[in-house]
Amino acid sequence: MQDPLLDPLRRRILARMGIQSWQLRAPTLPDGEPSQAAAESTVPAAPLPTGKLWLLAPSLPSPGLLADICQCLGIGTNEVSLLGEMPVLSEGVTPPLLWLTVADPRWPNALVCPLTPDAAHKRALWQQCRQHLPS
| Collapsed DSSP state (helix, strand, coil) of residue 119 | helix
Per-residue pLDDT reduced to its tens digit, 36-50: 554 455 556 667 888
Say if residue 66 is in the same domain as residue 124: yes
Amino acid of residue 102: V
pTM above 0.85, yes or no: no
Say if residue 65 is in the same domain as residue 26: no
- The total domain count for the chain is 2
Say if residue 35 is in the same domain as residue 90: no
47 assigned to some structural domain? no
Give residue 92's domain range. Answer: 53-131
Strand partners of residue 112: 100
User: DSSP states of 93-109 as a string?
Assistant: ---SEEEESS--TT-TT
C-beta of residue 111 within 8 angstroms of C-beta of residue 70 = no
48 assigned to some structural domain? no
C-beta of residue 2 within 8 angstroms of C-beta of residue 38 = no
Per-residue pLDDT reduced to its tens digit, 41-98: 555 666 788 889 999 999 999 999 999 999 999 999 999 999 988 888 777 777 889 9
Per-residue pLDDT reduced to its tens digit, 5-57: 556 777 777 777 777 666 666 665 666 565 555 445 555 666 788 889 999 99
45 assigned to some structural domain? no
